[in-house]
Each structure stands twice: as C-alpha cells, then as structure tokens.
Amino acid sequence: NYFRNDARSILSATKENDEAGRSRKRHKRILVTGGAGFLGSHLCELLLGAGHQVVCLDNFSTGLRRNIARLKRFDTFRVIAHDIVEPLDLEADEIYNLACPASPPHYQADPIQTTKTCVIGSLNLLELAARRGARILQASTSEVYGDPQVHPQVEAYWGNVNSFGPRSCYDEGKRCAETLFFDFHKARGVEIKIVRIFNTYGPRMRPDDGRVVSNFIVQALKGEDITVYGDGSQTRSFCFVDDLIDGLVRLMVSPASLTGPVNLGNPGEFTIAELAEQVIQLTGSRSRIVRQPLPVDDPRQRRPDISLAGRELGWRPTVDLSAGLAQTIRYFDGLLSLPRRNVLE
C-alpha cells in the first residue's frame, strides 16, 4: 500500500524501518516532513538516490502526489499521510522538517493552521527527535527578518516583523519554531540544524502556488497579463532548487556544533519588474505587464549574506537566474500541456 494514512500504518512503517535499519547500517533512516511539496520532493529524490531509506510524511494540503510518483520505484521509499500537528512516532536517524505551506496565499488561507503547523508541528517533531535520538533540521525562512532594516541580511540580525499582520502566522510561527529548536537543544541535548531559506524556485512548484516565479511563468506561457504587485521596485534574491537542496544536505551532515541558523539563498538581487522582463524575454511571450496593489507588509528588499554557509559548508549557489528560469519554464511548459485534471494531482 503506497499511501498510508493512519497511526497503525505509521507504526508498521516504523517496524519495517527498524528491520531494514539493522541490516543496512550504512544507510540512514530519514524522515522528510512536507516531502510531497516542492522542496521536499527534490530532497526525497536526492536522499533516495544516495541510498538512504526515506519516509515522506505529508498532509497533502499543498503537496502533490505527482511530485513523488516517480519515487515509487525505490523500495526504500515510504509515504505516510499525516498532519504534523498530531503527534507521531517512528524510527529515524535524521529528520528534515519541511512541512508548512510556503506561499503567502496558501499560508494565509488558514492562518491558525499555519501557526499550529509551525509551532505544535515543530514541538511534535522535536519530541520525536528527543525520543529517538535523531538529528533534526528545521526549514526556517528569510521571513524571520521581516521587512529588513539591515541589508544584506546576516544571521545575527534579529529582524523587523509585525506580530499581527497577514504574514505573521508564518513569520512568527517560524520564529517560534527556531526558539523551540534551540530550547530542545539546550535543555534536552537534541542535535539541531536551522536553515533560513531565501526565495527558492524551480520545477515542481504548483502552477497555482501563488509565488512570484511560478505566477509569472504560468502567466507568460498562457499569454495572460503578468501581475506585478506595487511598482515592482521591491527586490528578492532567487535560488534555484538544486542549489538549495545541496545546501540542506550539507548542513544536515555538518559537525554537531554547527546548529545554525545558516542562511541559504542566491545573493543575486533583482527587482520584481526585472524578473517580469526576464520571464517575458525567456518565454518569448506577448503578455503585458499589469500593476496590482502591493500586499500588506510586503518586504521591500531581500538578499542573503551567505558567508557563513560558504565558510562552514563550502556551499555556494551555481545556477544563475536565467539558467534556472529556463529549466523552470520547460517544466511548466510540459505541465500545462497535460489534461487539466492531471495538473494538480
């Protein structure tokens, strides 16, 4: 049974993991929460390719089964349908906690669930890590810097975040998760890794994700208006997914003393208007650029200082924006040619 969805199946997956764990010590048992999402599915694929046993746990709120369909060929892959807001138990050597909607329209659609996912979900996973002696990595975010007054953003900057705006469920939820991670580390000796991810894009984003790169590409390919919010002078730094996933794994296997937080992102900084122009040019689209209102609390600028990741992980991004956009455009081109009902499977 490929998709499992109750507590009993979680326990049976645990048993299978226990048995396999004993016979194949070289291969780690790795839990990826949010494994059916954009980043999570790429991470599962990389870890399976490296010979590990991977449990992908997801509530499929924004994740898609199509993202992980091709991973079925690995007999070391298990999928569990579960919400991390509910407690869970399974054997794991490492846990990557990626479960959380990441796109503003998605995390704002049910803000209470978003805070619960960030806070109660992290608590449940930290309890699991403490119980099972697993190392645990938290996918934190550049949103912890809010609308930053320090530029570029260094890890030592405490941020500028509204505690009760439309973005707060995500920003404050992720900040509280960092607090929980550090307190479990200090009080209970859990090995933690915190990564602050800056805007990342690439194949397997949903066409209705709502974030800027997928919106612009889908609009351009369909010949629809390209929606620039505000005057388009706000900036973001866009990292291609393969670079980001490489950084996540490097951080996970780094010495225990490196807890983070560590910024991962591509320091190339672009205005949103420049991004729209690049997408039009690369797709050869005839779409027009139209202005729409700037969302409340939309950060003005964003660029990571990645010297810590360079120094401690030997990591730097290798895919520039035009090459990454070209790959992403090819992905969406293929996806949009499928029958409509298959696109969001």
Footprint of ligand UDP on this chain (CB under 6 A)? 104, 199, 211-212, 215, 227-229, 234, 236, 272, 294-295, 298
* 248, 43 contact by CB (below 8 A): yes
Q: Is 148 in the site for ligand NAD (CB under 6 A)?
A: no
Whole-number minimum distance, CB 100 to ligand UDP, in Å? Answer: 13
* 130, 122 contact by CB (below 8 A): no
Q: Which two tokens stand for residue 20?
A: 């396999």
| Segment interacting with ligand NAD, rule: CB under 6 A, options 23-31, 92-100, 221-229, 293-301 | 92-100
279's CB contacts (< 8 A; 6+ apart) are 213, 216, 217, 220, 226, 285, 325, 329
The radius of gyration computed from the CA coordinates of the chain, to the nearest angstrom, equals 19
C-beta of 159 vs 295, nearer to ligand UDP: 295
Question: If contact means CB under 5 to 8 A according to the sort of partner, which of ligand NAD, ligand UDP, none does residue 202 touch?
Answer: none
- Peptide bond connecting 267 to the previous residue in cis, omega within 30 degrees of 0: no
- Peptide bond connecting 261 to the previous residue in cis, omega within 30 degrees of 0: yes
Q: Is 84 in the site for ligand NAD (CB under 6 A)?
A: yes
Q: Is 60 in the site for ligand NAD (CB under 6 A)?
A: yes
Query: By CB under 6 A, what part of segment 213-272 binds ligand NAD?
Result: none
CA angle 61, 66, 72 (to 5 degrees): 115
Q: Is 36 in the site for ligand NAD (CB under 6 A)?
A: yes
C-beta of 85 vs 336, nearer to ligand NAD: 85
C-beta of 88 vs 220, nearer to ligand NAD: 88
* 230, 27 contact by CB (below 8 A): no
Question: If contact means CB under 5 to 8 A according to the sort of partner, which of ligand NAD, ligand UDP, none does residue 200 touch?
Answer: ligand NAD
| Segment interacting with ligand NAD, rule: CB under 6 A, options 95-103, 181-189, 275-283, 293-301 | 95-103
* 48, 75 contact by CB (below 8 A): no
Whole-number minimum distance, CB 197 to ligand NAD, in Å? Answer: 4
336's CB contacts (< 8 A; 6+ apart) are 207, 218, 221, 222, 343
Q: Which two tokens stand for residue 36?
A: 């059916």
Whole-number minimum distance, CB 244 to ligand NAD, in Å? Answer: 8
| Segment interacting with ligand NAD, rule: CB under 6 A, options 33-41, 154-162, 248-256, 319-327 | 33-41
Q: Name the 3-class secondary structure at 69.
A: helix
Choice from 13, 30, 32, 39 touching ligand NAD (CB under 6 A): 39
22's CB contacts (< 8 A; 6+ apart) are none
- Peptide bond connecting 152 to the previous residue in cis, omega within 30 degrees of 0: yes
Interaction pattern, residues 97-116, with ligand NAD; x per rule: CB under 6 A: -xxxxx--------------
| Alpha carbons 148 and 153: distance in angstroms, whole number | 7
Q: Is 37 in the site for ligand NAD (CB under 6 A)?
A: yes
Whole-number minimum distance, CB 26 to ligand NAD, in Å? Answer: 28
Whole-number minimum distance, CB 98 to ligand UDP, in Å? Answer: 16
| Segment interacting with ligand NAD, rule: CB under 6 A, options 81-89, 147-155, 159-167, 291-299 | 81-89
C-beta of 59 vs 103, nearer to ligand UDP: 103
| Alpha carbons 305 and 270: distance in angstroms, whole number | 15
Question: If contact means CB under 5 to 8 A according to the sort of partner, which of ligand NAD, ligand UDP, none does residue 272 touch?
Answer: ligand UDP
| Alpha carbons 199 and 142: distance in angstroms, whole number | 8
Q: What share of the chain is helix, strand, coil (3-state, %, to 5)?
A: 45, 15, 40
